[in-house]
């Protein structure tokens, strides 16, 4: 049984607190990241630039034409040409997803399959371009949730 406690402050403010049967407030529910709403903007800002993965001439095997989310999603489903036999994204498993390793800086874990020493550098390159923990978690949580094209 849920109960509500209303406390009126002297200025006429109402503060409402809800609790469940145990007397505790339920924890907020985390929203699952969505590909088009959450993942694509990060790719557009940090990856789909003319110096990186926007065009086919300098892309190192993945082209991210952010004007076409369907094509970007298809690119992320492919195997990495850098880490042979390893997909960029393995739905449900960020540890097997080469993209997640590249943004976390753990790409050397794929070293046996890599054509480049230590599977290249962290993405995006450069200390000032490194993704925040929240941005990396967006990718991780999207992958854990099945890496859907939503």
**Confidence (pLDDT) at 55:** 63
**Confidence (pLDDT) at 27:** 53
Residue in the block written with tokens 């854990």 = 144
Helix (H, G, I), strand (E, B) or coil at 79: strand
Domain boundaries, the chain: 32-144
**Confidence (pLDDT) at 74:** 92
**Confidence (pLDDT) at 18:** 40
Backbone angles phi and psi of 95, in degrees to 5: -70, -25
As beta bridge partners, residue 114 has: 83
**Confidence (pLDDT) at 86:** 94
- Rounded Cα distance between 145 and 35, Å, is 11
Profile the chain (150 residues) by mean pLDDT over runs of 10 residues: 35 39 55 95 83 66 80 92 92 97 93 85 82 96 97
Instruction: Return the beta strands (E) in the chain as ranges.
Output: 3-8, 14-19
**Confidence (pLDDT) at 111:** 86
**Confidence (pLDDT) at 15:** 36
**Confidence (pLDDT) at 116:** 79
**DSSP state letters, 86-127:** -BS--TT-GGG-HHHHHHHT-GGGGGGGBSSGGGS--SS-SG
The length of the chain, given as a count of residues: 150
Asked if residues 62 and 97 have their Cβ atoms less than 8 Å apart, the reply is: no
């Amino acid at each position: 049984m849920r109960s509500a406690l209303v406390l009126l402050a002297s200025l006429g403010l109402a503060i409402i607190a809800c609790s469940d049967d145990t007397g505790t407030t339920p924890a907020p529910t985390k929203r699952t990241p969505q590909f088009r709403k959450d993942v694509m903007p990060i790719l557009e800002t940090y990856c789909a630039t003319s110096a990186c993965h926007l065009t086919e001439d300098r892309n190192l095997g993945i082209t991210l034409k952010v004007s076409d989310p369907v094509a970007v999603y298809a690119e992320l489903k492919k195997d990495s040409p850098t880490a042979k036999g390893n997909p960029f994204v393995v739905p449900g498993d960020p540890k097997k997803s080469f993209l997640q390793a590249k943004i976390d800086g753990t790409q050397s874990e794929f070293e046996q399959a890599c054509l480049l020493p230590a599977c290249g550098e962290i993405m995006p390159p450069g200390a000032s371009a490194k993704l925040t923990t929240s941005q990396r978690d967006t990718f991780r949580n999207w992958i854990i949730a099945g890496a859907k094209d939503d």
